[in-house]
Structure 1
Amino acid sequence: MSSLVAAIHRYPLVATTVLLGLVGVALALFGETDVVRWLFSGFGLLVAGHETVGMVRRLRQGTFGIDVLAIMAIVATVLVSEYVATLIIVLMLTGGAALEDFAVNRAKRELDELLRRAPQIAHRLTGGGVVTDAGGEHARSGEVEDVPATEVRAGDLLLVRPAEIVPVDGELVSVSAAFDESSLTGESLPVERRAGDAVLSGSINGQAAATVRATRTAADSQYQQIIALVEEASASKAPVVRLADRYAVPFTAVSVSIAGLAWFVSGDPARFAEVLVVATPCPLLISAPVAFMGGMSRAARNGIIVKGGGVLEMLSRAKTVVFDKTGTLTHGTPTIARVLPQPGFGELELLALAASAEQYSSHVLAASVISAARSRGLKLTTTETANEVPAHGVYARLAGREVTVGKLSYIRDRAPDAVAAPLEGGELAIYLAVDGRFAGSIVASDRLRENAPQTMADFRALGLRDTVMLTGDAQPTAEHIAALVGIEQVQADCLPVDKVNAVRALTHRPVIMVGDGVNDAPVLAIADVGIAMGARGATAASESADVVILIDDLTRAARAVAIGRDTIRIALQSIWLGIVMSLGLMLLAAFGFIPATVGALLQEFVDLVTIVNALRAIGGRRDAAVKAQLAAREPVATGAFAR
């Protein structure tokens, strides 16, 4: 009920038109046709006057819409007493605009998630307090006061507790700390920082408390810059011209010309109104919005949220597609790629030892190691003693054996013979020592999405052959993934502003950007069409994007383009079908073969035909065909990352 009331308040003209229609039906049942005629005609003229004011305003801004012909049609039907047609034209005029407005307004929440995630509170240390790490213990001196992040000034010492967001840009004062920067750079693996290293606002601290010295205010920090970029990008997007308006000038000119010529030749002014009755632009006003809503419904049925009809049109005309790497082409979570034991140790033994020790670690890779061991049916050993050195590793005593797991430098302190593992781009190794002897290494990687190569093939089949990767990862990692999936252009080591500038520089437009994460929010907003992989829930990326994929399936990005093309093709078919049928009726009316009353009925038949055709955009049969095609596909290999 509340949603109905909200809709009535938002679209009062539509609600009033429907209400008057119901009142008119009731009056007609009691024989009050004269009252109905005056009611419908008077309301139609009021709406025509209201639309005329808007039309004049738009004309001053240089925009000519199909509303001009609608106003003329309303006036013409009033003059020839076709009052039912008057109300129908009013409903089509206001209802079509409401449908478009409803679709567009779903896209106006772009900054909500970013603003909610922006750090609000900072823990400021007073009296020179510093948090230090020593054997996993935290020693603190000084007092801590909570202040708004906006009050932090350069030089302030800040305490960042475990799993908290860094409120402002700064430099690390603690000896070392690990930060999750995936929301800024897209890199899924934690980044280790040492004393004096820069720490970006918006990054998430690891499992050990850290002290950071602020180097910038909140307004000048990285996270706020991302918010500003999204605001700027959203504001810079030009509004999409309604599809039907592109046909407004020629259709209006032809219609008025035929009506005027019929009046001139016949000498009967009623002939002018008779032509305009069948020239009513309802097919143009309603068929495109109906097709767009059908396309959006079809997309939603496929797990794709499209924020407006203009987005579908952009998708249909896209020429270039740009991808982020982490979380888009890859899964965004590190997994175990391979186990490299030294002589005297087996793969399963090494994995079991590592997982047993990692039970007592808070490192992000610990869960991956434990999951890999359990998936292989390995039994984990309980520890006699365990101690974690944050950002370095874990020491544990397991069944009388001393097991150390961690970074290479940490392991070499116990096993000088430890050697670095051979790594490919984007990989990270953890090392093991057993009883002071180097036991081997375990390599983790962010796996490529299995359907990423197929997605590239789908885009190429749709004619989008210009493919680009923009990522915050290192160049070797980016090039390796690009080679696996078949992407032509690669730009690595990108910050959010670099991605924005790269997309702005692309000339083969419109441009689609497919991304995931806060770091992609600005470039998703600035692209002609931003597609967010939002399967993990509402994120800044999904709020900034024009299209959100709710299912964790990259191929849906290509399917969104296919749905956009189908929708626009059907919308154009419906528009042209309505134009051709209206032109035929106008010519017959010009020669006096169609009286106004019959013309109004015939025009409603044209409306019905075009609307029914536009409803084909819902696409049930096409979806069934796509599902059958997907079921028949062979699995696609994913190179070195396949498991």
Structure 2
Amino acid sequence: MNATILHESRGRIRFRLRQKQMTLAQADLLEAWIQGKSWCRQVTVHERTCCVILYYDGTRQAVLNEIRHFSWQEAERTTALPAHSSRALNREFEEKLVAKVVCKAACTLFLPSPLRIARILWHMIPFVRRGLHCLLRRRIKVELLDALSISISACRRDFGTAGMVMFLLEVGELLEEWTRKKSVADLARCMSLNVDRVWLRTAQGEVLVPVSQIQPGDAVVVRAGGIIPVDGLVLEGEVTVNQASLTGESIPVPKRPGGAVYAGTVVEEGECVLEVKQASGQSRYDQIVHMIEQSEQMKSEAESKAANLADKLVPYTFAGSLLSFALTRNVARALSVLMVDFSCALKLAMPLAVLSAMREAGRAHITVKGGKFLEAVAAADTIVFDKTGTLTRACPRVAQVVPFGGKEEAEMLRLAACLEEHFPHSMANAVVEEAKRRGLRHEEYHSKVEYLVAHGIASTVDGERVLIGSAHFVFEDEGCVIPEGEQERFDALPPEYSHLYLAVGGQLAAVICISDPLREEAKEVLSALRTLGITSTVMLTGDSYRTAAAIAAQVGVDDFRAGVLPADKAEYVARLRREGHTVLMVGDGINDSPALSEADAGIAISDGAAIAREIADITIAADSLWELVELRRIAMALMARIHSNYRFVIGFNGTLIALGVAGVLPPATSATLHNLSTLGVSLRSMSRLTTQTQPVQNNNLQNG
């Protein structure tokens, strides 16, 4: 790539491509390519100026080296573009808005009066038709008020007022449609799949390949807890699939050979082989857009209240106009009241505020699946945390492997990694990464892998049953024993670590000691949440009481529970809600899924189990718990803005009605002020709830 750096500061760079123009497709491709890099925090590509603004992590030289080697041909081959372009959507509505304004100005300035009047009368037809439709259905809605105000103005030969009212209404509708589509599109992209690799079944066995290489007709293996990456049909196996993220069904759906499954749903039990029907998984985008637009259950109480109040106030506006005419016999005063209604601002501003808050959360790497969950976050007084991967680091590391029964340490780690890589969780990832770090390749030589929620994994290797999981699973449920003469070694295991137990043929073969350090920011985050109104913080874990007590003391939670199973977590959350608390649950594993569903809002860590992310109402990035604080601030700021919007809309429009009845404001002025206030409150609702500034300094560099 040939480019010139325009401005640069620490972690930020702005450069311009050395080409005269950039197509929308090229801008989308470049942005997607950069976003796919591990060092990219945020990137914006401006196609009109061929400029790129990039925020990055890592070393400056490494970033510049990759950008220098960028080529359009390679990017097209390796980068998957979104099914729908937000950039194209913006361009479409920009052109519509400019065309409408230019057309209005040209008609006003250059058309002779008879033609201008004829155009206004022709333009009135859709508005009058919608008003008559409401009247015939015996509904007093805002469309009837608009039709009456425009028609009365035309009958009074005040064509200027009628034309201006229609222009403002059309601009408002255009801005509403633009903002809503843009917000929904941005939100849908946040919620779209983030699956990098899948298990592809080949003649040589299962191979882990990038999802971009999957083609229709391929056979993909998905196991319990895994996310279905593509639309397809079940070829082999029987599974139960959680489809709540798409259909809202609370009960998992059984799928048998021949049954259709969809990208983004999650296998809860069993495993299956899928025949790929739509490789890209792009249909997921349209499914999410439909869900966001149609699902009333996702609307916050404030949005529903605004919509209901807006509809209830329309008859009062109509009655006020009639009363004004009856008292004053002045058509102009009655018309001034008709020009003003509360419905537009209330119905437009509240959803825009919620969608904008969700979009702002998305920019902070927080995915929120509906407005009601932001409302729950703002109202919450209790937060319940899972321990492993949530309060502790999301990337625990293997500190020690202790073999038993004469087994070799490397071979036991290899075997453990071979099983654990099928079921990603923070501790499983630690085992897989340690094997990779030691250069241990683990070929697929075991039979079918079975995952037992909150317990462990079972399989068969060389005719022997192999187990890996908790002490409860290995020793109590499965009845495995410690090899003779090694009890002392077992009792001497380091207590400061979490333990994974590996058993082969009914005997303990190894204990994998995992260091799970507390997140550095955890204590400060909990303190910040308390300053934002959270009164109770609780930690739930399946670990021993000793380990849980140590972590609880370090992080400073108000209460904790140790040795809990998934059902125990869900019941604890349910009990808090029955006691009148508004509860948030934060977790990352399959075993957290029941509690995430039970909470007023479930919050999942982005690199946790797929089923946790799908069931959760909110997903935060794994990098830092400070996103919980940002989420709470956004939610509280949203509710403050909604209440402020209520006060402004009711107060301002009430004042306009009063001034219209008093004869102070003519109809045209009332209509203009009302529509401008609606646009103003809508634009305010679309503005950022929080501010962010970045230092900038000047620099220059050319690509050689």
Letter in 1 for 2:583: V
Larger Rg: 1
Tell me: CA distance 1:47–1:119, structure 2 relative to 1, closer, same or farther (3 Å).
farther
Structure 1 residues 302-381: aligned runs within 5 Å: 302-335=364-397, 358=410, 361-362=413-414, 363-364=416-417
Read off the aligned partner of 2:149 and give its amino acid letter. A
1:374–1:262 distance in 2 versus 1, CA, 3 Å: closer
Structure 1 position 445 matched with structure 2 position 550: no
State the 1:595 CA deviation: 1.0
Given that 1:70 and 1:280 are in contact with CA atoms closer than 8 Å, whether structure 2 keeps it comes out as no
1:68 maps to: 141
Distance 2:587 2:172 in 1: 38
Q: Which residue of the other structure, out of 447, 453, 462, is the alignment partner of 2:532? A: 462
What is the match of residue 587 of structure 2?
515
Shift of 1:471: 4.0
How far has the Cα of 1:512 moved from its partner?
2.0
Q: What amino acid does structure 1 have at the position aligned with 2:655?
A: G
1:278–1:599 CA contact under 8 A, matched in 2: yes
What amino acid sits opposite 2:333 in the alignment?
Answer: R
The structure-2 alpha-carbon separation of the partners of 1:610 and 1:425, relative to structure 1 and needing over 3 Å to count, comes to same
Contact 1:283–1:575 (CA under 8 A) maintained in structure 2: no
The answer as to whether partners of 1:201 and 1:223 remain within 8 angstroms in 2 is yes
1:484 to 549, 554, 558: 554
Cα 1:371–1:515 change in 2 (3 A) is: closer
Which range moved further: 366-375 or 508-517? Answer: 366-375
Give the equivalent residue in structure 1 for 2:673: 602
Q: Would you say 1:92 and 2:163 are equivalent positions? A: no
Establish whether residue 264 from structure 1 lines up as the match of residue 326 from structure 2: yes
Check the 8 A contact 2:306/2:347 in 1, yes or no: yes
Query: Which residues of structure 2 form unaligned runs of 5+?
Result: 1-23, 26-82, 154-158, 207-219, 228-238, 242-253, 257-265, 272-291, 403-407, 418-426, 441-460, 469-479, 503-510, 696-704
Q: Is the 8 A contact 1:319 1:511 kept in 2?
A: yes
Counterpart residue number, 1:585: 656
Whether 2:513 is the aligned partner of 1:428: answer no
Question: Paired residue for 1:240, among 300, 308, 318?
Answer: 300
Secondary structure of 2:491's partner? coil
Could you tell me how far apart the structure 2 residues matched to 1:117 and 1:489 are?
39
Counterpart residue identity of residue 319, structure 1: D
Aligned counterparts of 2:601 and 2:372: Cα–Cα separation in 1: 10
Q: Does 1:288 align with 2:350?
A: yes
Shift of 1:501: 4.3
Query: Does the 8 Å contact 2:86/2:182 carry over to 1?
Result: no
The amino acid across from 2:392 in the alignment is: T
| 1:429-475 deviation per Cα after TM superposition (whole angstroms, max 9, x unaligned) | 899xxxxxxxxx99533222222222221221111213333444455
Confirm whether residue 77 of structure 1 aligns to residue 150 of structure 2. yes
Measure how far apart 1:515 and its partner are.
1.9
1:525-560 C-alpha deviation (Å, 9 max, x unpaired)? 4533222211x3893333333322235211201210
Instruction: Report the residue type matching 1:76 in the other structure.
Output: S
Distance in 2, matches of 1:17 and 1:444, equals: 59
Letter in 1 for 2:517: R
Shift of the 83–538 alpha-carbon distance from structure 1 to 2, 3 Å rule, reads: farther
The DSSP-based 3-state class of the residue aligned with 1:300 is: helix
Match in the other structure for 1:545: 616
Give 2:659's aligned amino acid.
L
- What do the CA deviations read for 1:157-182 (whole angstroms, capped 9, x no partner)? xxxxxxx98968xxxxxxxxxxxx9x
Deviation at 1:509, TM superposition (A): 4.6
Cα pair 1:93 1:285 within 8 Å, conserved: no
Change (3 A) 1:73 1:491: farther
Look up the equivalent residue of 1:34 and give its one-letter code: I
In the alignment, which residue of structure 2 is the partner of 1:36?
A: 119
Structure 1: gaps spanning 5 or more residues: 60-66, 124-144, 147-163, 169-180, 185-199, 203-216, 228-233, 341-355, 383-387, 394-406, 432-440, 628-643
**8 Å CA contact retained: 2:299, 2:370:** no
In structure 2, relative to structure 1, the CA distance for the partners of 1:303 and 1:255 (3 Å cut) is same
Counterpart of 1:527? 599
| Equivalent position SS for 1:577 | helix
Shift of 1:585: 1.6
1:331 counterpart SS class: coil
Change in 2 beyond 3 A, CA 1:478/1:68? farther
Q: C-alpha separation between the residues in 2 aligned to 1:297 and 1:463?
A: 24
C-alpha RMSD of matched pairs (Å)? 5.8
TM-score by length of 2: 0.53
Q: Deviations over 1:43-83 (max 9, x none)?
A: 22344567789x98xx9xxxxxxx93464245323432523
Residues 328, 515 of structure 1: 8 Å contact kept: yes
Q: What do the CA deviations read for 1:346-404 (whole angstroms, capped 9, x no partner)?
A: xxxxxxxxxx96498414599979999999xxxx999xxxxx999799xxxxxxxxxxx
Over 3 Å counting, the alpha-carbon distance change for 1:612 and 1:581 in structure 2 is same
Q: 1:328 to 1:86 in 2, by over 3 A?
A: same
CA apart distance, 1:273: 2.1
Alignment length, in residue pairs? 480
Query: Does the Cα contact within 8 Å between 2:145 and 2:318 map onto a contact in 1?
Result: no
Supply the AA of the counterpart residue of 2:350: A
Q: Secondary structure at the match of 1:299?
A: helix
Contact 1:514 1:531 in 2 (8 A): yes
Counterpart amino acid of 2:368?
V
In 2, Cα distance between equivalents of 1:519 and 1:280: 48
1:345 is aligned to: none
Question: Whole-Å Cα distance in 1 between the matches of residues 543 and 255 of structure 2?
Answer: 26
> Larger RCO: Structure 1 or Structure 2 (Cα < 8 Å, ≥ 6 residues apart)?
1
